[in-house]
Amino acid sequence: MGDLATFGIEWMRSPLGVGAIAPSGPLLAALITQDAGSLLGPIIELGPGTGVFTRALLNNGVPEEQIAVVERGEAFLADLARHHPRLHAYHGDAANLAHMNLFGPGWAAMVVCGLPLLSMPPSKVYRILAGAFFHLSADAPFRLFTYAPGCPIPSAVLDRLGLGARKIGRTTFNLPPACVWELRRVTEPRTEKADTPPIEEITP
Ligand SMILES: C[S@@+](CC[C@H](N)C(=O)[O-])C[C@H]1O[C@@H](n2cnc3c(N)ncnc32)[C@H](O)[C@@H]1O
């Protein structure tokens, strides 16, 4: 099936779950996957959709078997697995990342995130990030894109996980224009104290 047909099927099934009006463009894909080929270790991609970022990772020289994709849309995942049979393809919710055995032992060198984080509650964003950093090596980046002007991760979530955020680029040649952000560990995750409000109470 063609990319747009698959995108249409998944969009009609869950417009909010897909969270975009079209697949990302090639310039955004190049921005979010830049330098991926020089990293040592496997790469995790969350929410690959039609595989725009997956193909950019492959074009960067990342071998298929060094990429694990986690995708909730069955049609998206089936198409990707058919075109790239050596990918590690997982069907499921990225919020369960901490419980997934993606590549066996060893740490991942980067996460490329295509998830619609802005339409998710902070508690879910927290679980996704905590799970992703569980798999990442100490100084490895988590890259994400957003159509919003600022970082889409609530500062309370960054704070609790000991993460710093930095914008690494923006492209107007995308529908809509988008920014790429990179998150990295800057301190130890905060130990929860008795008076810390539960993560469910964090507002976006
Ligand atoms: C905005 S689309 C991005 C697709 C692709 N990365 C791109 O940039 O064109 C979001 C993707 O995340 C997937 N998705 C949304 N929520 C998810 C979740 N909780 N776990 C895994 N995949 C999810 C959707 O099915 C969709 O493929």
Ligand 1 binding pocket includes 42 (Cβ within 6 Å): no
66 has a pLDDT exceeding 70: yes
Mean pLDDT value across residues 3-30: 87
pLDDT confidence of 198, banded at 50, 70, 90? low
Confidence tier at 5 by pLDDT (50, 70, 90): confident
Q: What is the pLDDT of residue 80?
A: 97
User: For residues 126, 131, 134 and 138, what is the CA-based torsion angle, rounded to 10 degrees?
Assistant: -60
Cα end-to-end span (Å), the chain: 37
Give me ligand 1 centre to Cα 160, in Å: 25
Q: How remote is the CA of residue 68 from the centroid of ligand 1, in Å?
A: 14
| 196 C-alpha to ligand 1 centroid (Å) | 31
Report the nearest atom of ligand 1 relative to the CA of 14. 25
Residues 6+ apart with CB under 8 A from 152: 117, 118, 144, 146, 181
Indicate if the pLDDT at residue 82 is higher than 80: yes
Cα 95 off chain centre by: 11
Averaged over 72-88, what is the pLDDT? Answer: 96
Is residue 204 over pLDDT 70? no
Beta bridge partners of 60: none
Please tell me the residue having the least CA distance from ligand 1 atom 13. 47
Q: Is residue 137 predicted with pLDDT exceeding 80?
A: yes
Would you say the CB of residue 3 lies under 6 angstroms from ligand 1? no
Q: Take atom 16 of ligand 1 and give the residue whose Cα is closest.
A: 17
Q: Tell me the average pLDDT of the chain.
A: 92
pLDDT at site 173:
94
Ligand 1 mean position, distance from CA 186 (Å): 27
Interatomic CA distance for residues 121 and 133, integer angstroms: 19
Q: Looking at 9-18, 27-36, 73-82, 185-194, which range is the least confident one?
A: 185-194
Asked whether the predicted pLDDT for residue 4 surpasses 90, the reply is no
Using CA positions, which residue lies closest to atom 15 of ligand 1? 17
Handedness of CA 36, 187, 97, 102 (dihedral sign): positive
Give the whole-angstrom CA distance, residue 136 versus residue 133. 5
